[in-house]
Structure 1
């Protein structure tokens, strides 16, 4: 089961994803957010009671206490803010989750919600990959595939999954740890107000060229820099020589140091 929200957004509780849809019925755009388990449970409960008010205690008991987590009004308010920001990032500017003072919250009855059957696994993969052919780099399906391209593709997929899950809480920074969930990141530069990080050291002589690629990638992905956002970028070196190269970029909303509320990623080759 999944929910279609205002025609343009699909939320699937089973995998905790919120996706933008393209014009086609089954076509999924590159805009996708993977929710943390707590955020997913909270949204699932709110949307399943569409138009009905849920009391704070009811949400805290079912989303936190029932799963062995410490519940607090502060945590609830924070996750409500995260969900609102996620919908805003996907272009839904209306108030999706309404605050009922002193009572609780409600998934707005003014937002259209349609319950749909989730497509078969094969159909979903085909739909999600159709807007961007990144799942099949040139020649990879052939017996003589280029090892470097295959290796990079595997890295990019792992990095995308790691960033999305880390950013939404699957691997949030542990309370007693001083290290972020990703082992290393290196500051490449700043795009407007957003710091740009790579996963490897870059020669100072090449930094300006890489930053030009970041700008072009941001435009291609229709990503925009806003306060409290960070950019993560990976591209093959051959792009510096104007050769076709595989590229991965993600823009993440920062809650605090090394802790993020959500990421949007774009991957192409």
Structure 2
């Protein structure tokens, strides 16, 4: 099963990995950590007692179950999420009872996954047929086709910013490279014909990358906009007007 966390982190239980889709950073998890995170995410918003976790994550698989063991795995998962750029507290401790995933966390799984961070924003179309069972295969086919296209045009991506700054604008929290200004981000929204709207609570992630290919060199921004009160993220690319 695959989970989407905060719109830019994917957790694949089969690969036992956490991936930041904006930077490509990946953290491999142990089998026990994978089972623990999957159990918590599968019960998003529900409180799981320590005994429930011991039985479903440890005892069932012959792993050692103890309070100190569980605390260590929880601490490691929190550090992993933090290392990948998640500032929100995803795993909440309920003293003397157990743990749960924060109700404020934006979580999707592959039963309802709509690739919010990989698809460019487009008009919604009414669903005609249930396609959930085919979605993983379709997503893999898209990835293969995209990689083939990059190989054909000899594209090279490179990061141009290593540090990130957080800017608060009205009800928006904007995470962007330190080389950019708030005006740069606002102008990028205007270029995409969708002005930056901070009248509602949302997080905006801006990732800047340089693209080198046989068809020219240019700089582009990947912008991901997530509404914090809903499990809804959209993304789009904006090419900078000046060439590199």
Report the TM-score, using the length of structure 1 for normalisation: 0.44
Structure with the bigger percentage of helix: 1
Report the TM-score, using the length of structure 2 for normalisation: 0.48
